DNA sequence: TACTAGGCTGACCGCGTGGTCAGGAGCAAC
DNA sequence: GTTGCTCCTGACCACGCGGTCAGCCTAGTA
């Protein structure tokens, strides 16, 4: 709980290859067993290095977790933003967003379990709050942009673009929250995905066609 | 990880007063510092009893957590169901649901942080999965009932009542997920609440009036 | 060859944890 | 009085944790 402020803010790009290996191992372990439960020993084993090396590179366990979470969030933000570029018309952009977000059952489950951990973590220690706050701004900004385009084109009709972006995000994350808890998450992934898309268009004031 | 099946299924009603005290303390501690972080010592101190007493009554830490989570979920389900009784017409029922769910910033935050913990917990050990699965059925069933009434009365228009119930739940929980992460959660609670209500009515195909 | 610097490790430390256990306090039954 | 039962506790245990540290290995360099 002490000195929560001086978290390592090293840009993820400048990390050495070895550090990236460790970060990836940390994320993998975290996603698999929950960020609270993991020990340095587990991460070290996963990475095939000694426990002491993790501390050598990151100083503390907390700093390693922070770096791994940061990396995972940045990666996700980039992926979503990238998916958006493949579409130009608002209706298609929504589809592209959904495609970029609902990538694959395995990866989605890992990420959202990890994400829930992060939210819970963030609520207790301020440093992590900024982290998820950054993702928050990126995602909601992206959503707002797409919705804004749709409103301009007369395809969507919403009162407030930013509020609509929040609703959109709520719907998506809430969907994942329920989906994660199902036992048939592997098989039902695509069903939840299409249900979510339908609801989204409803929220944005689009008349459903197909 | 071993013997996850034989969790204690004692009905919460049959618990002795002392056990209820402990359960409440466990929930309070859990909601405050996260279910992963809490130690038996913390809970015992909160309850003003010795650590050994917790083990005497519940056997293991896991079983105590289970009992506390069960109690909290049952309590919440009862509250929501109770709130519904005050309204008869579908439109009002939605309002009543929202009122029963968005009770109070403090309590909501505590409960949702706890709930996220539970979801994460449940995803790793099957016993807890059944727990949240039960809540799932109760809540979604309730939602479906209300939506069904609205559809019959011609107030709501949805394709599939059960799917709509899931969307409704997704929107609500997703809203909480975002709200929890805000720094001004205390002040903004009512704003998120009313935003959520508006979005809900949109989802249910109601034309917004006021 | 000798020296240096940085990546890396095994052995180690103190601590807090979940869980055990022998037994004390209070009380009812006989 | 004493036996037995339930509730309850402090002292204790083994264990795994995050973190430290002395020192090894390798590559660069002069």
- pLDDT 10s digits, B99-123: 999 999 999 999 999 999 889 888 8
Within 7 Å: CB of A42 and strand D?
yes
CB contact under 8 A, A167 and B136: no
Within 7 Å: CB of A55 and strand D?
yes
Q: Which nucleotide is nearest to B51 (CA to C1')?
A: D9
Question: Which residues does chain B have within 8 Å of residue A117's beta carbon, measured at their own beta carbons?
Answer: 120
CB contact under 8 A, A174 and B178: no
DSSP one-letter string for chain A: --S-S------GGG--HHHHHHHHHHHHHHHHH-TTT--HHHHHHHHTS-HHHHHHHHSSHHHHHHHHHHHHHHHHHHHHHHHHTT--SHHHHHHHHHHHHS--HHHHHHHHHHHHHHHHHHHH-HHHHHHHHHHHHHHHHHHHHHHHHHHHTTS---S-HHHHHHHHHHHHHHHHHHHHT-TTHHHHHHHHHHHHHHHHHHHTTPPP--
**pLDDT tens digits along B45-69:** 999 999 999 999 999 999 999 999 9
A104 pLDDT higher than 70: yes
pLDDT of residue A5: 37
Residue of A31, A139, A170 to mutate for B, most B C-beta atoms under 10 A:
A170
pLDDT level of residue B129 (50, 70, 90 thresholds): confident
A133 CA from C13 C1′ (Å) = 38
pLDDT level of residue B207 (50, 70, 90 thresholds): low
pLDDT of residue A1: 36
pLDDT level of residue A8 (50, 70, 90 thresholds): low
B38 CA from D10 C1′ (Å) = 22
CB contact under 8 A, B170 and A199: yes
B6 CA from C25 C1′ (Å) = 33
């Amino acid at each position: 709980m002490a000195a929560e402020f001086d978290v390592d803010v090293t840009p993820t790009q400048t990390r050495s290859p070895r550090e990236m290996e460790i970060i990836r191992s940390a994320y993998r372990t975290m996603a698999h067993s929950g960020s609270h439960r993991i020990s340095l020993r587990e991460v070290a084993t996963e990475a095939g290095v000694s426990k002491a090396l993790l501390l050598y590179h990151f100083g503390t366990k907390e700093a390693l977790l922070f770096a791994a979470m940061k990396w995972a969030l940045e990666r996700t933000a980039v992926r979503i933003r990238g998916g958006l570029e493949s579409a130009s018309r608002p209706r298609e952009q929504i589809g592209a967003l959904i495609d970029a977000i609902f990538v694959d059952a395995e990866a989605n489950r890992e990420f959202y379990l990890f994400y829930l951990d992060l939210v819970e973590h963030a609520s207790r220690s301020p440093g992590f709050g900024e982290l998820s706050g950054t993702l928050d701004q990126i995602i909601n900004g992206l959503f707002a942009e797409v919705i804004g385009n749709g409103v301009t084109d007369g395809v969507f009709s919403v009162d407030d673009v930013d509020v609509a972006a929040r609703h959109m995000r709520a719907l998506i994350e809430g969907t994942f929250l329920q989906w994660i808890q199902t036992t048939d998450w592997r098989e039902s992934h695509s069903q939840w995905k299409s249900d979510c898309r339908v609801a989204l268009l409803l929220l944005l004031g689009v008349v459903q066609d197909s």
